[in-house]
Amino acid sequence: MTQVYRIYIKATAQAIWDAITKPEWTDRYGYRGLAEYDLRPGGAYRARANEEYQAMGMPEYPVEGEIIEVDPPYKLVQTWHPTWLDEPPTQLTYEIKEGPDGVSMLTVTHETEGAPQTAAQTAGQIEGAGGGWAEVLSDLKTLLETGKSLHE
């Protein structure tokens, strides 16, 4: 299954890239994981759960992956593996295109073939588990455009 999410954000490609790849940004929106990227092909990706999520029983690193392709600040392809699920890694692609008037388009494509639990989680279909990519990207947009998270 392929999930595609597209959102327009009044921000530069670099600002969006930083918000995706830098922990000082990733702890301010979505599930508040602290991103750890080694931004080179073959490099590692890990999202470290904050103290609140760890207190609720999440592992220290609930999502891990490997970098497949990187072209800052326009494209990042990586694997995505929720460590608490017994499923194979999936593939996640971020593509950022700058447009007129300071508006950029962010497209997130998540290939979840063979990983039905990951697909349900990222599609926001699991009760009590958040809104998946749609909520994460809405929160990212709000943060970049207003300086505040949806949940502040």
Q: Read off the pLDDT of each residue in 64-73 and give the average, rounded to a whole number.
A: 98
81 belongs to a structural domain: yes
The reply to whether 16 falls in a domain is yes
**Which pLDDT belongs to residue 31?**
82
Residue 8 lies in a domain: yes
- Say whether 50 sits in a helix, a strand or coil: coil
User: Mean pLDDT across the stretch 16-45?
Assistant: 95
SS3 content of the chain, % helix, strand, coil (to 5): 30, 35, 40
| CA pseudo-torsion sign 78, 125, 31, 128 | negative
Percentage of the chain with pLDDT > 90? 80
Crossing angle of the two packed helices 13-21 and 132-146, in degrees rounded to 10: 120
What pTM was estimated for this model as a whole? Answer: 0.94
Q: What pLDDT does residue 57 have?
A: 85
Question: Is 151 part of a structural domain of the chain?
Answer: no
**91: pLDDT confidence band, cut at 50, 70 and 90?**
very high
- Distance, C-alpha 140 to centroid of its chain: 9
Q: What is the mean pLDDT of residues 27-46?
A: 94
Query: Is residue 122 in a domain?
Result: yes
Cross-strand partners of 78:
67, 92
Boundaries of domain holding 139: 2-146
Residue 68 belongs to a domain with what CATH number? 3.30.530.20
Instruction: With cut-offs at 50, 70 and 90, classify the pLDDT of residue 53.
Output: confident
| Domain presence at residue 152 | no
Overall number of domains in the chain: 1
Q: 30 in helix, strand or coil?
A: coil
Asked whether the beta carbons of 34 and 21 are under 8 A apart, the reply is no
